[in-house]
Amino acid sequence: MTAPRITVVGSVNLDFVASGRILPSPGETVTGATLARHPGGKGANQALAARRLGAEVSLIGRVGGDSMADEALALLRGDGVDLASCRADGGHPTGVALIAVSAEGENQIVVCPGANMAVTPADLPPRIDGALIAQLELPIDTVAAGAQRTHGLVVLNLAPAAEVPQSLLDRADVIVVNETEAAFYGEALRRSGGLVALTLGARGAELWRAGERIAVATPPRVQVVDTTGAGDAFVGALAVALLEDQPHDRALAFACAAGALAASRAGAQPSLPTRAELEAVLTRS
């Protein structure tokens, strides 16, 4: 089988992860946490997720002209993601995510986008062949330009939720949202006409088209360590599965298993499963 070809237009961050017993309430300080640094950013995470599952992946984005840039790109480079179109921008810092993770694996995230918000339509080629994966951690006009220039499957992760033109939703062949994002977009998702994947955390996911549920999947049971990156694992895996022409129910189960495996390990990118790991879990389930 020929490997799927995917271009990701998306964000690159360096994650600073504080893991502790509990998450703070507003105005509260908690102590006793441990600190780790991991490459992250929804675009980079989804690019690496698809790459580890067998796709040929290129990433279009920006990092800063600072000491964090190489660290943010290290795992992408090590796994063979094409970074020729990921520019270093001396006028902006590398994007940073500040993440607090509780003992139950729940998280709170604050993103400082930095160079990600300097990615413009001029950074994109006039034509994108193959599939596109995009999210909303870049300027919306850049995401929209990427979708319009793509001559293949467009997978749009509407995260974080933001106002987008209906024309972008209409161009997307696959939209991925969680429950909060689905509530934000409401009826606009039904009008989009493509597939809508609704992620439900530990309860799994559903696949919808034109208001009709066409597939349901539940993830394998895992011990949750850190949910950061689980949604990105789902997006990358769903894109790969659909490009491989897996049936809808199998594609959804494939994506749910990827998200569950990512949630069972620490860090966004370090947690992303390989194809062998994912296939082993699916064989056992």
- CA gap 114, 122 in Å, rounded: 18
In this predicted model, what pLDDT tens digit does every residue of 56-81 receive, in sequence order? 999 999 999 999 999 999 999 999 99
Q: Domains along the chain?
A: 5-12+41-93+116-284 (3.40.1190.20)
Reported confidence tier of residue 94, pLDDT bands at 50, 70, 90: very high
CA dist 123 to 12, 15, 45, 117, 150, Å? 15, 24, 20, 12, 14
Q: Which residue in 70, 173, 232, 245 is the catalytic one?
A: 232
% of the chain beyond a pLDDT of 90? 90
In the beta sheet, which residues pair with residue 84? none
Residue 73 burial (CB < 10 Å; 0-12/13-18/19+)? buried
pLDDT in tens, 223-237: 998 888 999 999 999
Summarised one tens digit per residue, pLDDT across range 255-269 is 999 999 999 998 889
Mean of pLDDT values over 155-181: 97
Question: Which residue do the tokens 């769903």 mark?
Answer: 238
pLDDT at 106: 86
d(CA 244, CA 237): 11
- Is 226 an active-site residue? no
pTM: 0.94
pLDDT value at position 199?
97
